Amino acid sequence: MANILIKDLREIAKGFSSKPGEWPHIPCPTCVRGILQPLAESFVDEERVSSKAGRDHEAWEPEWIVGDFLCTLTCRKGTCERVRVVGYSGVEATGARDWDEGEQYEARLTPTMFFPALPLLESRPHCSDEMGARVDAAAKILWLDPNSAANRIRSAVEALMDDLGVISNKRTSLDARISTFKTEQPQHAVAADLLLAVKWIGNVGSHEDILDTRDVLDGVEFLDRALSLIYDTNHDDITKRAADVTARRGRPGASSIRVTS
């Protein structure tokens, strides 16, 4: 099943148009399923003083323009918490050229903070309190500091191992714990492989400081899928129901036959 939440977050990671009406779907942190819409009257995009000063330089280009933006977002449901988004703005070349005006440019907005933080996991209800707290900590800083967010997602995997009863001590690495989980519960081998990938992304975030938001979202998606495989039994129920229908060759079961008077 497609992970719509991750799809929305990936679109947000690409940045925003300078026109709020053209922003991508932004998931509501209160109800998750709702979509946040920008309040046009609250939108502010202001060029920085240092950026304005640079306009006098003889080599000035539009791509030197840097500013900051903020906006208030509201959910379509109308009963959810309002969300504030802040970030920085800039100008980039589109790659197109106009015969009279030359190189074409467009303003782009890059969000660095949502408050309250946007949801990350569709499988969030499956998280224990401790694991959920670590995921929420990652959500708060994802857009501002992706490397630190990756480390917190890695930490959430440690909490998951605790929840699953995988033995740990000071000398047990997360690699070893995931390997033990895979050996002891082979039915979850695919989930274990996904969790190992999350671990590696977290390691890079901790030691190399080279990740961007899109890299972390890969780890979030892997973790979300792993949680679904481990805890969500809905797919097992669907498989069983399909087998029952096949066994009956499509005829209704006794419990579904309606008796009319």
Average pLDDT taken over every residue of the chain = 90
Q: How many CB atoms lie within 10 A of CB 255?
A: 5
Which residue, chain included where needed, has tokens 């129901």? 241
Task: Tell me the pLDDT tens digit for each residue of 192-249.
Answer: 999 999 999 999 999 998 999 999 999 999 999 999 999 987 766 777 778 788 888 7
Quick one: pLDDT at residue 129? 96
pLDDT at 251: 75
Q: Is the pLDDT of residue 142 over 60?
A: yes
Q: What is the DSSP string of 70-105?
A: EEEEEETTSSSPPEEEEEEEEEEEEEEEETTTEEEE
* Contact assessment for residue 194 and residue 235, using Cβ atoms and an 8 Å cutoff: no
Cα 72 to chain centroid distance, Å, stands at 20
Q: What is the pLDDT of residues 147-202, one digit of tens each?
A: 999 999 999 999 999 999 998 777 889 999 999 999 999 999 999 999 999 999 99
**pLDDT tens-digit profile of 247-259?**
887 778 765 555 5
pLDDT digits (tens, 9 = 90+) for 43-97: 999 999 999 999 999 899 889 999 999 999 999 888 999 999 999 999 988 766 6
- Other residues' Cβ atoms within 10 Å of the Cβ of residue 217: 23
